[in-house]
Structure 1
Amino acid sequence: MRLPFFIILISSLLISSPLPARSWKKDEFRNCNQTPFCRRARARKPGACSLIATDVLISDGNLVAKLIDKNREDPATDLDPVKPLILTVSAYQDAILRLKIDEDQTLDPPKKRFEVPEVIIPEFEAKKLWLQKIVKEQIGGDSKPSSVVYLSDGYEAVLRHDPLEIYVREKSSGNRVLSMNSHGLFDFEQLRTKKEGEDWEEKFRGHTDTRPYGPQSISFDVSFYGSDFVYGIPEHATSLALKPTRGPGIDHSEPYRLFNLDVFEYIHDSPFGIYGSIPFMISHGKSRGTSGFFWLNAAEMQIDVLGAGWDADSGISFPSSGNRIDTFWMTEAGIVDTFFFVGPGPKDVLRQYTTVTGTPAMPQLFATAYHQCRWNYRDEEDVENVDAKFDEHDIPYDVLWLDIEHTDGKRYFTWDKALFPNPQEMQRKLAAKGRHMVTIVDPHIKRDDSYFLHEDATKLGYYVKDATGKDYDGWCWPGSSSYIDMLSPEIRSWWGERFSYLNYLGSTPSLYIWNDMNEPSVFNGPEVSMPRDALHVGGVEHRELHNAYGYYFHMATADGLIKRADEKDRPFVLSRAFFPGSQRYGAVWTGDNSADWDHLRVSIPMLLTLGLTGMTFSGADVGGFFGNPEAELLVRWYQLGAYYPFFRGHAHHDTKRREPWLFGERNTELMREAIHVRYMLLPYFYTLFREANTSGTPILRPLWMEFPSDEETFSKDEAFMVGNSLLVQGIFTERAKHVSVYLPGEQSWYDVRTGATYTGGSTHKLDALEESIPAFQRAGTIIPRRDRFRRSSTQMTNDPFTLVIALNSSKAAEGELYIDDGKSFNFKQGAYIHRRFVFKDGKLTSSDARNSSSGKLMFNSDCTIERIIILGHAAGPKNALVEPENLKLEIELGPLQLHGRSGPAVLTIRKPGVLVTNDWTIKIL
């Protein structure tokens, strides 16, 4: 959602004179030169760091050292001495290195610097390796020592004392993987007491930041070795492979900004930060593989990707070869709390990162299906009509959403009694068809003394405070608003209780929640957000935790829904703002996009980047939030959106209605078919959600994640993998006649519509068909489907499955199917089915893939396999034998038909009748 014109005008008057819309958007936000810490950090020269490591020892299983400034005078006589910093290196299982640098608390700094709580999962600390010894060595004939500690059997960590440098290297080769401060750009502005005459205030567009603790920024360089490209650090509407922001031929470029902001109609191909921030970067190259670097810090961050060969004004000389990529990280506050991930494969890095921050939550089945949303469905009659129209046009959907207009005067946890007089009955009618409802709940609370939520929050002191200690008063949808202080566990627990059926009157078990505007958005605040000197519990400044505010709000809401269900059912909460760890609490989306082809195209690198940084349950508003899409664009968006992990159509209230049946019979047919594709593939998607839940591997994957040695894939971001089996290529231009598709690897690929075969390692020019976008099944894989179409996913629970077997050159294939009750947490105690299918030597075998320590609970199903389709098998076999039933079946030979297209003949076995729960074999005779 975004500001209607009258609120924009009011907000502009409160800040300055109103400006035209485009310049208002540009000028509303700071650039690096307007951000003092960024400007200072970028002015540093290589080798400027004068810190050295001393007093290096093992303490409590960690390597600990003091960092002192070798260029300072005697601290006893120096008027402004640089106090020592404390460096701590810790090793963890799976070759994870953690490096922390903070002020020495024994020297009594003015305040304790903020460390972001409750992001690192408790299980991670149990994986700590207790370091036993330090090996001293001289490197390259340097007489100054380095300290080496164990990281794993294959890797070790090195602390170079003077000049200060920290890196991870391979034991066998001595080759570096990751390093920090190799160019001597490290800087740590220490907290100090203001001197007479000093002015620490910062001003921007009429706003004053009092900055009571003065400059406290941190910056350093990080180098990735054996790297061809770097990726990650969402959220930006730009390419998957991060572009250099400083270097030869790059003039006046901005760093990638990480600062959660409510950005109105964001533009594509920009390094500007928008709704979420994850300071996690992944490197990938053919020579070495994959590595990753994560900085746990919630303050504003700016990151430069430094171009090769750059030595112009800065004096920095970076290698022109492709064996290293250098980056420069800057933040306004906090501490150094960083993690080095050595890989060496893409999925290894994701496993290592989610070992620290947690794997994605397992969603309910309904949440993985299609969602219908608009700002706003007007009333109960509108809801009933929209629901009926989906049935009339044979279009399945699972969730209908209500935006802010459903409330009583934009008071959350209420209903407009004139428009929604019977909310429970409305929800029950949807639930009778297996459907659900989502309502919006935002963090700004209307300052109305008669509003129960404001009354309670005020009385309990649960609001964020302004710099003077009063409840912060900002402007958002309800007008004058205050914001719940989600940093406090006590307050989060109170917030969670608001979702009980007793407190949220009119809610039912089929109602779930949407957290919007939780960056937080403040219409009259600096950069449309909260002042940085606002105060949270414990005296924490908002600048220190800004990027994590939405994370804690998301956490509290999800926990509240779990409490509401007595911890039996999984929550569903969509959040616009996010931070590392948000994957544990629900879904996110890419915010207020626009109905244009550029935004359709950029949705793919944005979602791929989110997946690479843990946020696999993500999507973009299908059709674009702003504007009125032409029918062709809307159809293409549905065809692409059917493969998003989170699949939702959404639109601004000023746009024309755009439900799928409003664009003519042919376009309705095309959009229906796209949605049917999603429902057909729900078993495959749900299996991939479980894979993400256990390993951190995303659902949408860049091609190089599955083909890490294929250099052709490294910078491609118009095509993507869905799991390891499907490759999808979007169509991103109007009236396209042809589309080029690169199919990686050496194996064949099968057109999912026709079964036609295409060779790997080649680019294929294909007709751009109106019926669908190109999608291919990888040879050697088996995909489970459900081909019977129902009103909703919950009505498909007992339907049989189809297995599509795509044979490779060895006439083999394999795949998996995961099933549980689709709702509860019982899967954590072993109540699930996990089958592994293998086709080899003319036999299809089903076996149990459950972990031996899955738990005591069991889950059973009477579902069967009703059809088996075999792609790539020569004609000839007439029969199949099902064992142990000893049942003989005929094999059909005929074309595969999907979307009305037909191709070469394929083998089909109908009604083998085998249960998905059982072990069995089907042999081709």
Structure 2
Amino acid sequence: MAIIRCLNTFAVLTCVLLIIVYEDNTICVAFSPSKERQHSSNISYRIIKAQKYSHNVSTVPRDQCGIAVERRIDCARDRSLSRAECESRGCCYLPLPQSGLRGPPWCFYTVFYPGYKMGPMLPTERGHRAILTRSAPSYLPRDIHTLQLDVMAETQDRLHLTLKDPTSPRYEVPFVKSQSKGHKSMENPLYDVDFQPEPFGFSVRRKSNGRVLLNTTIGPLLFADQYLQLSTSLASSTVSGLGEHYTPITLDLDWSSVSLWNRDMAPHRSANLYGSHPFFLVQEGDGQAHGVFLLNSNAMEVFMQPAPALTWVTIGGILDFFIFLGPSPQSVIQQYQEVIGYPMMPPYWSLGFHLCRWGYTSTNITRTVVQLMRQAKIPLDVQWNDLDYADQRRVFTFDPQRFGDLPQMVEDFHQLGMKYVLILDPGISSASPPGSYKPFDDGLKKGVFINNSTGQILIGKVWPGPTAFPDFTNPTTQDWWMDWIKDFYNKVPVDGLWIDMNEPSNFVQGSVDGCPDSELEKPPYTPGVIGGQLNSGTLCVSAQQYLSNHYNLHNLYGLTEAIATHRALLKVKKTRPFVLSRSSFPGLGRFSAHWTGDVRSDWEQLRFSIPAVLLFGLYGIPLVGADVCGFGGDTNEELCVRWTQLGAFYPFMRNHNDRPNAPQEPYVFSQRAQDAMRMVINLRYSLLPFLYTLFHHAHTSASTVARPLFLQFPTDPDCRSIDRQFLWGSSLLISPVLEQGAVEVMAYLPPGTWYSLHNGQTYYSKGQYIVFPASLDTIIVHVRERSIIPQQAPALTTAISRKNPFTLTVGLSVGNLAKGELFWDDGESLDTFERGDYSYLLFFAEESYVVSKPIKLNGSLDGLVLGEVRVFGVQTPPTAVWANGQKVPDFSYRLDTKVLTVAGLELPMTAKITIQWS
């Protein structure tokens, strides 16, 4: 293989173009920047000469099949092929001993399988462009002969490549727009790019060490009307992402695959679930990481193999790749969210405890639940109702008998300082007599519903019976949705909306009238989705929407509904919207929270809820949680206590239960279980100032909230796949009990000093597993050295707790250093950070003092005081303590744990505070 090195500035403006055509037809392209652009970084790439041969199978040399088994790229994804059929595609056929349901392919592409040929690369306004052509058609139906390659070096750490048909426009994903977050330098780019002109392929290298991150020359580029395929090698086998699936934090690359097609499906293995996130992050093994995002909303399947390598297959749209160079895992996530948008800032109350059940069948029952929670003195911020409230299960209504006083009940909850949320499904009942259900009549008049392929309203079936489905890509539908939310809000002043069943879910296949026999409904290749057909459990994919057909837009349905619902709540409430969506796609975090769907009440689902929550943090949806104690099936006391302890550290905490199951509200269990649940929910409430500050950073800088250990400790090999523990930010390490009957936890402590949040016990770790006792009333939580955690005395609601005294928990380093911060505002107004309407405090510790220093004040902290300071790791017993120069009589020191506690303070948070000891 001959290699010719070239330079390419990827200059946006004018440049001098040099094209060299060698005798063997290898093309080298170089760009020399004009003087005004010579400050731009130089991105080097190489043009790689590839061996050529005829597409005729009889001329394929034997050495073209000499590919290591783990590197074989399957040439028969669409169906099983005989030897003759395989070889007629120009592929190799080498059977292997049968090894179960999955394994290396028998029919696979040759080393240099014929594909596209790249022409010269020319400058464009955004980067550079080349035309790719096929010398002969592939075996795919409706093969696309000519492709346009656009290469855009958007920032020093982000590369953007697209492949599309230049002659006929194809569907491209709307709504997910690049979000500019300040000036991003192009100086010293982190990557170089190589191109193989024929057969076309590219690779991306990390400039600092030459590591090849992606190499698409390992398999052919295929691009037909309903089949797009691209393979790439991977820099490591440690890969996370490609959700939503029931998986550990790292994917199985042993001849596995995942399908991305939003589906109403209770979480279980090997199933496409509620959301689609075609993004993955690779840990490279030395602390560095990179990410890849394919912006494509069509059904797709991603095949993984132990080479390591993977193959993208999608059945529509274009290939639109973003490559993020990190180099740290956390910076990869930030770069990804610069493209899909940073998460919304949640209202403070949404971080409290939420309680719901499908089966609260009246306002009397719902009121009783709240009353019993308060009697048990267990915090509860948000009471929910499932579909029980709706008259004949029709949204925008409430049952006049069972929920006749719903408006008054909501007002009563508001008087208690609580909030109220109810479910809002997208399916609009179409079976009511004309004039009896105005949302449908009005929608019919305005043309807001999805149509079938013949232009008639598509009718499916969900909870109210026959239903029509709003088309949220239609601006008229968005206005209609807003009008009906406003109409309902004027009667029932809800505080948030829960949008469920929005994959969209359908109880009949496609529609009540079936679906047409077409290549949209039955494409040449269907990814491995539950039910085997794209319209299984959802709408006919040939259905027509405002922007395109459902075949292209299906995976965006939940996102478009979330956008419309968020917009409506902005209009009617004029405070921060709270929306909870089951279906998801990249960009949802800008508008909505998410929960992990209909999890079962069992120990396995408890355990796998951790990677589920952590992965959604990587996807830019930090306000996420699983149904505490499980949704389906009967829980038991031990499971519910342990799930409540874990759920207290989900960013979003809701106990939600299905109708036929045993009750699981905290007050139904024994006094011992109630005490354990109350204790951990109170712990959560005490930590809400810290959690709220983490969400501020997620909103403003794409920092993660619930964080896998590898994001914080990327150079520690022991952290790469840990998903039984997790962090809040960089400072709190949570190690829950995940097995029935366990009374201890083996937890990994990364190198450094860690303190028990419970009592300040010190652990000096070299990076090791330690066994901690964990009785039923205990969850193991550690504070990392150098951290200061702002806390607040808990209460039954955040409306009360936000007025209580603060506590600072300080974890000193060996050098007696620590720092922390607090972001504080009114908890619900719009754009407080953007408008500068907030308070910000910096905390730091040095030697023998702790300081709270206001950096910015807006009045939100007026009247609030610091009541207590706990300092972990004070090696010398103090003899005296001073607060702002005044001697403090109320302090204690434990010699065994080396914890100094200064209590009884009433120091205004709006002034500088100094606590000193000697």
TM range (shorter): 0.7 to 0.9
Name the structure 2 match of 1:365: 348
Q: What TM-score comes out, normalization by structure 1 length?
A: 0.82
The 1-side partners of 2:428 and 2:108 are apart by 43
Q: What is residue 691 of structure 1 aligned with on the other side?
A: 697
- In 2, distance between residues paired with 1:780 and 1:228? 33
- Per-residue CA deviations over 1:455-484 (Å, capped at 9, x if unaligned) read 111111111111222111111111111100
Deviation at 1:122, TM superposition (A): 5.1
1:259 deviates by: 1.0
Deviations 1:372-412 (A, max 9, x none): 00003111111211111111111111111111120111111
Distance 2:121 2:651 in 1: 48
Q: Distance in 2 between matches of 1:440 and 1:367?
A: 16
Query: Is residue 2:339 matched to residue 1:331?
Result: no
Q: Deviations over 1:585-644 (max 9, x none)?
A: 121011001010000000001111111111111000001101111100000000100000
Aligned to 2:714: 708
Aligned to 2:148: 86
**Structure 2 counterpart of 1:318:** none
Alignment of 1:517 with 2:516, yes or no, is no
Instruction: Pick which of 639-648 and 691-700 moved more.
Output: 691-700
Counterpart code for 2:244: E
CA distance in 1, matches of 2:822, 2:410: 32
Q: Note the C-alpha offset of 1:492.
A: 1.8
Structure 1 equivalent of residue 866 of structure 2: 865
What pairs with 1:91-490 in structure 2 (closer than 5 Å)?
91-104=153-166, 107=167, 109=168, 112-121=169-178, 123=180, 152-176=188-212, 178-190=213-225, 216-225=226-235, 227-246=236-255, 253=256, 255-263=257-265, 265-267=266-268, 270-287=269-286, 289-308=288-307, 325-447=308-430, 448=432, 449=434, 450-490=436-476
> Unpaired segments of 5 or more residues in structure 2?
1-73, 90-104, 510-534
Where does residue 76 of structure 1 map in the other structure? none
CA distance in 2, matches of 1:114, 1:127: 30
Alignment correspondent of 1:139: none
- What's the Cα RMSD here? 2.5
> What is the deviation of 1:905?
4.7
In 2, distance between residues paired with 1:400 and 1:155? 50
CA-CA distance at 1:504 after TM superposition: 4.2
Which consecutive residues of structure 1, in runs of 5 or more, have no partner in the other structure? 1-31, 74-78, 130-149, 191-215, 247-252, 309-324, 851-855, 897-902
Q: Percent identity?
A: 32
User: Residues 127 and 83 (structure 1 numbering): CA distance in 2 closer, same or farther, change over 3 Å?
Assistant: farther
Structure 1 letter corresponding to 2:556: A
- The amino acid of 2:127's aligned partner reads N
The DSSP-based 3-state class of the residue aligned with 2:674 is helix
Distance across 2 between alignment mates of 1:38 and 1:245: 20
Query: How do residues 778-793 of structure 1 correspond to structure 2 at under 5 angstroms?
Result: 778-787=784-793, 789-793=794-798
Please state if 1:45 is matched with 2:30: no
Deviation, 1:503, is 4.7
Change in Cα spacing, 1:417 to 1:834, as seen in structure 2 (3 Å) is: same
Assess, with a 3 A threshold, how the Cα gap between structure 1 residues 600 and 452 changes in structure 2: closer, same or farther: same
Change (3 A) 1:696 1:128: closer
Given that residues 594 and 623 in structure 2 are in contact (C-alpha distance below 8 angstroms), is that contact kept between their aligned partners in structure 1? yes
Corresponding residue for residue 660 of structure 2: 654
1:236-273 CA deviation, whole Å, 9 max, x = no partner?
11111101141xxxxxx5x111111011x432xx2322
Highest RCO, 1 vs 2 (Cα 8 Å, sep ≥ 6) = 1
Q: Using the alignment, how far apart are the partners of 1:563 and 1:120 within structure 2? A: 23
Deviations, residues 194-244 of structure 1 (Å, cap 9, x unaligned): xxxxxxxxxxxxxxxxxxxxxx1211123332x350001221111111011
What residue number does 1:313 align with? none
1:495-574 equivalences under 5 Å are 495-500=481-486, 502-508=487-493, 510-525=494-509, 526-538=535-547, 540-565=548-573, 568-574=574-580
CA shift, 1:121, in A, is 4.2
Amino acid paired to 2:177: I
Query: 2:819 matched to which residue of 1?
Result: 814
Distance (Å, rounded) in 2 between the aligned partners of 1:722 and 1:173? 32
Structure 2: how far apart are the matches of 1:454 and 1:44? 53
Q: Which of residues 736, 746, 750 in structure 2 aligns to 1:744?
A: 750
Q: Which amino acid aligns with 1:562?
A: L
Q: Which structure 2 residues correspond to residues 788-803 of structure 1 after superposition, within 5 A?
A: 789-803=794-808
In structure 2, how many angstroms separate the alpha carbons of the residues matched to 1:905 and 1:128? 46
**Contact kept? 2:601, 2:633, Cα under 8 Å:** yes
Deviation at 1:44, TM superposition (A): 5.6
Q: Find the residue that maps to 2:657 and give its secondary structure.
A: coil
Alignment of 1:881-900 (within 5 A): 881-883=882-884, 886-890=885-889, 892-895=891-894
User: Structure 1 residues 764 and 689 mapped into 2: Cα distance closer, same or farther (>3 Å)?
Assistant: same
Q: In the TM superposition, what is the alpha-carbon distance from 1:655 to its structure 2 partner?
A: 0.7
SS at match of 2:658: coil
> Could you tell me how far 1:169 is from its partner in structure 2?
2.5
Aligned length: 790
Structure-2 change in CA distance of 1:621 and 1:725 (3 Å):
same
CA distance in 2, matches of 1:527, 1:38: 23
AA in 2 matched with 1:171: K
- The CA deviation string for residues 504-556 of structure 1, in whole angstroms up to 9 with x for no partner, is 45221x43100000000011123211122111114x12111211111101111
What is aligned with 2:878?
Answer: 877
State the one-letter code of the partner of 1:649.
N
Aligned to 1:29: none
CA distance in 1, matches of 2:477, 2:203: 41
Distance 1:403 1:682 in 2: 26
The answer to whether the aligner puts 1:756 opposite 2:755 as a matched pair is no
Query: Aligned partner of 2:163: which letter?
Result: I
Does residue 63 of the first structure (1) align with residue 128 of the second (2)?
A: yes
Between the aligned partners of 2:661 and 2:748, the Cα distance in structure 1 is: 36
Structure 2 letter corresponding to 1:658: Q
When residues 838 and 347 of structure 1 are mapped into structure 2, their CA distance, relative to the original with a 3 A threshold, is same
SS class of match (1:874) = coil
Q: Which amino acid aligns with 2:762?
A: T
The residue identity in structure 1 corresponding to 2:351 is T
CA distance in 2, matches of 1:554, 1:173: 43
Pair 1:239–1:445, CA change in 2 (3 A): same
Residues 1:725 and 1:412: Cα distance change in structure 2 (over 3 Å)? same
Query: What is the alpha-carbon distance in structure 1 between the residues aligned to residue 313 and residue 803 of structure 2?
Result: 53
Q: Is contact 1:812–1:839 with CA below 8 Å preserved after alignment?
A: yes
CA displacement at 1:159 relative to structure 2 = 3.5
Do the aligned partners of residues 179 and 858 (structure 1) sit closer, same or farther apart at CA in structure 2, a change above 3 Å counting?
farther
Contact 1:893–1:905 (CA under 8 A) maintained in structure 2: no
Contact residue 49 and residue 184 of structure 1 kept, 8 A: no
Equivalent AA in structure 1 for residue 109 of structure 2: K
* Structure-2 change in CA distance of 1:83 and 1:639 (3 Å): same
In structure 2, distance between residues paired with 1:793 and 1:919 = 25
- CA distance, structure 1, for counterparts of residue 759 and residue 270 of structure 2: 40
Corresponding position of 1:9 = none
Once residues 833 and 174 of structure 2 are traced to their aligned partners in structure 1, the CA distance between those partners, rounded to angstroms, is: 28
Are the structure 2 counterparts of residues 364 and 94 from structure 1 closer, same or farther at C-alpha, using a change threshold of 3 Å? farther
Note if contact 1:228-1:286 (Cα within 8 Å) is conserved in structure 2: no
Question: C-alpha displacement at 1:738, in angstroms?
Answer: 2.8
In structure 1, the residue matched to 2:741 is 735
Q: 2:71 maps to which residue?
A: none
User: In 1, distance between residues paired with 2:406 and 2:143?
Assistant: 65
- Give the Cα separation in 2 of the matches to 1:667 and 1:881: 41
